[in-house]
Structure 1
Amino acid sequence: MRWTGYGIPHVKADDWGSLGYGFAYATARDAVCTIARDVLMVNGDLSRNFGEAGGNMESDIFHRAVLDADMIDGYRADQEDKTIAFSAGYVAGYNRYLAEHGDDLPPACAGADWVRSISELDVDKLTIGVGIRYGLGLFQREMANAAPPGATVASVDSNFDIEAGIGSNAVAMGRAVTESGRGLLLGNPHYPWQGSSRFHMIHTTIPGEVDVMGVSLYTTNRVAIGFNHNVAWTHTVSTGMRSTVYALELDPENPTRYRYGDEYRDMERVSIEVPVTNQEGGVSMVARDVYMSHYGPMVVSNQLPWTDTMAFAIRDVNLYNDRSADTYDALNKAQNIDEVEAALSLQGVSWTNTIAADSDGTAFYADISVVPNVDSELIETCRVGADNVPSRVVLLNGSSPVCEWYQADESEIPGAMPADNMPRIRRDDYVHNANDSYWLSTPREPLEGYSPIIGSERSTASLRTRAGLTFIEQALADGDKMGPQDIQDMLFSHRHFGAEQFLDDVLALCADNSEPVMLDEVGVDVTPACEALANWDRRDDIDSRGAHVWREFWRQAARIDDRYVVPFDAADPVNTPRQLAVSRPEVRSGLLQALAHSQTFFQSKGIALDATLGSLQYETRNDEQIPIPGGDGGTGMWSVITARFNPEANAYTPILHGNSYMQVISWDEAGRVDARAILSYSQSEDPRSEHYADQTRLYSQSQWLDLPFYEEDILADPALQTLTLRE
């Protein structure tokens, strides 16, 4: 094991078991507390160690009910020998790290009795837990609280979407538009800055078999986004649905029986016991029942009530998806786009798009993720409505056998759509994704004709999608070719596309308005806000002044109905809708009130309207305030940073999610990899580590690292540290 500058581990081993050993040891050095806590989570042991509040009880019930022995046995039985060996090595490597460093753990878990050695069972549960994160995992509270009428049920609102702001940008460019005539890739996931969804940089090698560098998540064990000698790839969260909700018609005599065709079926009641720390410091057992239909678990929320006549169940297509290790092993070793596509077709990528480029100069986009095998006809035939359930949720009639997902021989995952039916495209110019559907992966060749379960077609794109596509087309104007520095600058210019589109309209409104704006029955002169926006550079960089005024303004303005002069046009999706309808009285009034809101928001807090963004948006590391560039994707930022205003700090801090691991991978004319990257929040979660904030400081200044991928670069690194492990 070698560590180069900024704490990047390079793990070289002779076999898969040894590679897993080094992988775990290196990751634990930076993330041991988070791994240890997630092991508790997937085993349903949070309440025992931290009490039942804060969602711990619901999480424990969910994981104890879903990740049962039969599921784990089935998962393990389908793994290849090298995966079993890697997992065993991972366990041994992690446990060795604990044995050597258990008396000197980071402050977050120092002296904690919940930090324990792990087993291969724990590794399996961690892997499955990640796969169902954006399907059944969105319904943990609803499953834990599900009970027939008459039982006391907690009142919860369902959140049918992943957290706002979680997503990614990606661009792949091909031989026709790059300076080298080879591929060029930008990976820019917008992931959390805390917890187990943090990325960790790592380079893994088995000589002659695999040599890949990139990132894993703290609690996963393969390179998930990265590159090798001939291929680079990244992921963005896909619009595909991972689950469907089934509405069940109940037996009038028994609300735990549901009609299926001409018969009634009994729900299965599963008794769960959760250990909970009590007030005396001891442990009590709390018993709960969860209910299962043949589709999957029953759920209850304010939008999905369990009444005497109707109840709801969730079916998650990734629940029995055991293809992750095989898929990523194949992806890590792929040498061209053909092999990338073949790896994805194993269907172990659970919920993301894949964007890739190769040294031959092919740009590739695919949403070959895992979705239920349903088509538009089945949805149209079987869809039912429910109050307050968003139309994007696929809610089907569970009483009719006709409404079961199709079972295709071409997929080994029960009920999954075959890989051949999923969208993909190859280009020699470019492809792009920013979490909209496959349809507009390139406006030069929209993809159409796929199941709506994967995503929408001919629909309005987000401002962030439009930003990326606009920036790319501008860069390629007049036949210009792209190099790695160009695409780095495209991201780290921190241009605000929303402001580029709409600020002139707002400034014209400012110039045309001379009256105070009534806000909460108080007249507000919005001249100061208008002046701050007029002087803003239309970027969200750390020295940009006035960016915060637009941020709070647009959060209000985006709620105004019918606010555009030119509506969305599927024939011109990148440039529509556009132009704020300032001449419409209701729009004009709404925009002026949004300006007044933003101005008074900051004035009431003593914050200057021309303050720099970096003075208001920062990450604190060991009492050091590090200014952070980037802004809200929903307002039109392509360089995304999401932070809520913190009244205690009087600033946008801490950072929740956004730009995380960013990589720009290309090849020179001779085919040598040029790899550049930055991990915005740095490698280590340990505040004592020199790698707790070092890359964060670089990101603050929009800088990148040159990654030492080749052996000679590793050996020449002035920060090189070497450790040989044997057991």
Structure 2
Amino acid sequence: MLACAAVTVGCSKPASNDTAASKERYNVTVRWTAHGVPHIKADDWGSLGYGFAYAVATDAVCTLAREFVNARGEQSKFFGPEDGRLEADIFHKSVITDQALAHAVARVPEEMAALQAGYVAGYNRYLTDHTGEQLPASCRNQPWVKPIEATDMTRMGIGVGIRYGLGRSPAAIANAAPPTKDEKITFVAPPAAEDVTIYGSNAIALGKQATVNGKGLLLGNPHYPWSGGSRFHMAHLTVPGELDVMGVGLITTPFVSIGFNHDVAWSHTVSTGLRYTLYELTLDPKDPLTYRYGDETRKLTSHAVSIDVKQPDGSVKSQEHTTYHSHFGPMLEDKDLPWTRERAYAIRDSNLDNNRSTEQYLKFARARSVGDMLAAMQTSQGVAWVNTIAADRQGTALYADLSVVPNVDEALLKACASATVKKWGPWPAVVMRGAPDCEWRIDQRAQQPGILPAEQSPHLVRDDYVTNSNDSYWLSNPSQPLEGYSPIIGPERTERSLRTRAGLVFVNEVLQAKEANRFDAQRLQDLLFSHRNFGAELVLDDVLAICKHEPKTVKAEKSSIDVTRTCEVLAAWDRKQTVTSRGAQVWTEAWPLMSATPNLWAVPFDANDPVRTPRQLNASDATVRKAVMLALATATQKLNEAQIPLDAPWGEVQYTERNGEKIGIPGGAHATGMFSMVLGKLQPGKGYTPIVTGNSWMQVVTWTDRGEVDARGLLSYSQSEEEDSAFVSDQTKLYSIGQWLKLPFTEPEIAADTVRSLELKGS
């Protein structure tokens, strides 16, 4: 989710110092409407970027500054080498090379080059206007808050693009070294790779056959982290006659990545496509820096980087490190991928050479129909790692996974598979032999050598509906399954998640009703904000039946637990996770334990009935009954030890804190069967807090009978995470009570809602 998620990797050259440039080249107006939503309007693209950066920095300057530090490989310099920062610095400096930077800007459209040059200038202008004590408390008077250059934007964009490939293994790349090397880099407590499984999304696009007025209707619902650089920020960007787009972008990407214009609305969900393959290299026994490649041998190259590292006494010293690279890509080394005298491993990432994202999102912003959206993806192939779901005013719905993946089919994967490696931490271990016949196939139709051409990627255009909730393309609409594609994109005819099934069930409950069987905007909002737990709807009756007939005292890990009260709480639960629901915490802890039980289902998965299967607990199996009761006992014990009442209202159990105020947060964990996904961290004596990830930006967009855009949205965690901001909790409180914002899009709507206006001029 999305996806989100858009990736902007291009950037322009720094502004020149000639006489013309010394004049006021930027002129932009920023109008903020209620809840801190900026509407940036300029007559040229450079000025648009100037105002855009200023508006984002107004809410997120500290977050942006930290992300620039990370992209430059300077975390160790300012924050010390601990907690994986040294590995991250080595990774960024060795992977994002001068060559990578040059390639990243090679295909940036003129408009986007101007926008990004303006963005750099606008960010720096904000720092000029807000120095030292004027900055938010989290970065006030900090030396790492400093002006940026064009390359900083490019580095940050590349980093976002390779999140699902090279970005999964910074420590493994930094630590890779041949066995003959006298001394290996030693890190203190190397951290696990970033858990990118926390990035997810839902999206539903409805066409003319599914809506009340025959217009398109879209729900965009990315599930993204509630803190840090992967937060979204709302904005409306306008260049009269050239651009008018509103929505959100990641704080680290200078454009709208999920949103709408006058004719089209779109969203993203994180795709199942694999962005990389690993390669197993057969080494020369006499030289671990030489590997066989067919009938020849090749040498690994070394890349020395210098990292400034903060010392315990506060001083900074430079440390030299070396990384190693094959022609496939960087070498890796960890416990699953050891570098021995016989073999070593490299990774190739299809998005490292993806320099088309700015082009891609410019086309999205200018699209007039879902046909334009599809054509934009087919001709640019700049979507890095997400599905695209869209609807237009004509009443057409689109699903497409045209994200960038290696051009390898099932036959090549089987022919080249290495049996040596069984796993790679939590990630798919697609390991191929490092041989010429195992290179990614080159298809001249593709926009980049070695990636799958658009013609071989799945998409679906319909007049009723399409959905995606992070499973593969296969079941975007069950009446028209997508099949016959490379497994590198995702699996077919396999069991879907409860969240995927929930979305399909909830949509079809409406469409298959005898009366009122069409959606309008409110009904689509309610689909998400009902906060129904589909897992509980599916099997809780079976659980309660087992609980009724089994002994209530269950021997758990630490002691015997009486689950009588537990079963009573579940029986009374409304099977939702609204702030007033009581008992959701029991299901949150119990169902993941139950779901891992072998032979759990009486009706197993059937690829010909994938929405309704599996279903019905196999209560005839004593092992299943025992597992259900043990899960209830274990959940009870865990909640008791955490001092969480079994029947406390969910909003008192799951919450976020802003300036000491607790705000109840509806929604629940993906693993328990929630469509409305929110994941909090259980803390003894407190509850599920802080919120880690989940519902973030939510938009419902359609068109009225008069042809006007009707857009509602909400940013669950609000525009800023700075405690001293006026916009740190306002939208969060609206989310808590289920209230959406009507998004001002037209000039009259903006004028009527403007609470602050700023005209910026600068050079």
1: CA distance, partners of 2:659 / 2:216: 40
Matched ranges for 1:231-380 at <5 A: 231-345=264-378, 346-380=380-414
Q: 1:641, CA displacement in angstroms?
A: 0.3
Which residue number corresponds to residue 552 of structure 1? 589
Rate the CA distance shift 1:524–1:307 in 2: closer, same or farther, 3 A. Answer: same
Residues 128 and 429 of structure 1: is their aligned pair in 2 closer, same or farther, counting only changes over 3 Å?
A: same
Q: Find the residue that maps to 2:59 and give its secondary structure.
A: helix
Call closer, same or farther: CA 1:161–1:33 in 2, change over 3 Å: closer
* Structure 1 position 93 matched with structure 2 position 129: no
Question: Within 5 A, what are the aligned runs for 1:342-421?
Answer: 342-345=375-378, 346-389=380-423, 393=428, 395-421=430-456
Q: 1:310 deviation in Å?
A: 1.1
* Cα drift, residue 158 of structure 1: 10
Provide the secondary structure at the position in 2 that maps to 1:402.
helix
- Residue 5 (structure 1) aligned with residue 19 (structure 2): no
Task: Work out which of the residue numbers 698, 703, 708 in structure 2 matches 1:662.
Answer: 698
Match of 2:611 in 1: 574
Give the conservation status (yes or no) of the 8 Å contact 1:47–1:274.
yes
TM-score by length of 2: 0.93
Q: Give the C-alpha shift of residue 68 in structure 1.
A: 1.1
Structure 2 alignment gaps of length 5 or more: 1-29
Residue 164 of structure 1 aligns to a residue whose secondary structure is helix
Contact preservation (8 Å) 2:83, 2:190: no
The secondary structure found in structure 1 opposite 2:738 is coil
Report matched runs for 1:595-674 at 5 Å: 595-647=632-684, 649-674=685-710
Secondary structure of the 1:489 match is helix
SS at match of 1:77: coil
The correspondence for 2:490, drawn from 424, 445, 455, is: 455
Using the alignment, how far apart are the partners of 1:208 and 1:140 within structure 2? 44
Q: Alpha-carbon deviation of 1:557?
A: 1.3
1:469 aligns with 2:499: no
Are the equivalent residues in 2 in contact too, given 1:385–1:395 (CA < 8 A)? no
Partner of 1:429: 464
Report the counterpart of residue 446 of structure 1 in structure 2: 481
1:368–1:424 CA contact under 8 A, matched in 2: yes
Q: Give the aligned partner of residue 535 of structure 2.
A: 498
1:71-150 to 2 correspondences below 5 Å: 71-103=100-132, 104-150=134-180
Structure 2 match to 1:687: 723
C-alpha separation between the residues in 1 aligned to 2:99 and 2:600? 54
Q: Give the alignment partner of residue 59 of structure 1, picking from 79, 84, 88.
A: 88
**Structure 1 unaligned runs (5+)?**
none
1:158/1:575 CA distance change after superposition, 3 Å = farther
Amino acid aligned to 1:442: N
Q: In 1, are the aligned partners of 2:164 and 2:196 still within 8 Å (CA)?
A: no
Counterpart residue identity of residue 486, structure 2? S
Q: Which residue of 1 aligns with 2:17?
A: none
The SS at the match of 1:713 is helix
In structure 2, the partner of 1:41 is 70
Aligned residues: 725
Q: 1:687-726 residue pairs with structure 2 within 5 A?
A: 687-717=723-753, 719-726=754-761
Please name the residue that 1:224 is paired with.
257
Deviation at 1:661, TM superposition (A): 0.2
Where 1:683 maps in the other structure, the secondary structure is coil
- Identical amino acids, percent of aligned pairs: 50
CA distance in 2, matches of 1:182, 1:575: 29
Distance in 2 between the 1:229 and 1:28 partners? 27
Q: Specify the code of the residue in structure 2 equivalent to 1:124.
A: T
8 Å CA contact 2:274–2:489 kept in 1: the answer is yes
**CA distance in structure 1 between the partners assigned to 2:240 and 2:481 by the alignment:** 41
2-structure distance, mates of 1:79, 1:520? 59
CA RMSD of aligned residues (A): 1.6
Query: How much has 1:473 moved relative to structure 2?
Result: 0.6
Contact 1:169 1:189 in 2 (8 A): yes
Number of the residue aligned with 1:163? 196
CA distance in 1, matches of 2:50, 2:491: 43
Q: Say if 1:158 and 1:301, in contact at 8 Å, map to a contact too.
A: no
CA offsets 1:299-340 (integer angstroms, 9 cap, x no match): 011111111111110000000111011110010010001111
Aligned partners of 1:558, 1:154: CA distance in 2, in Å?
40
> Given that residues 145 and 300 in structure 1 are in contact (C-alpha distance below 8 angstroms), is that contact kept between their aligned partners in structure 2?
yes
TM-aligned CA deviation for residue 606 of structure 1: 3.0
- The AA in structure 2 aligned to 1:359 is R
Distance 2:721 2:131 in 1: 16
Q: Give the aligned partner of residue 512 of structure 1.
A: 549
- CA-CA distance at 1:369 after TM superposition: 0.5
Name the amino acid aligned to 1:529: T
CA–CA separation in structure 2 for the residues paired with 1:555 and 1:152:
40
Query: 1:99, CA displacement in angstroms?
Result: 0.2
- Equivalent in the alignment of 2:4: none
What amino acid is aligned across from residue 279 of structure 1 in structure 2?
P
Could you tell me how far apart the structure 1 residues matched to 2:489 and 2:436 are?
A: 22
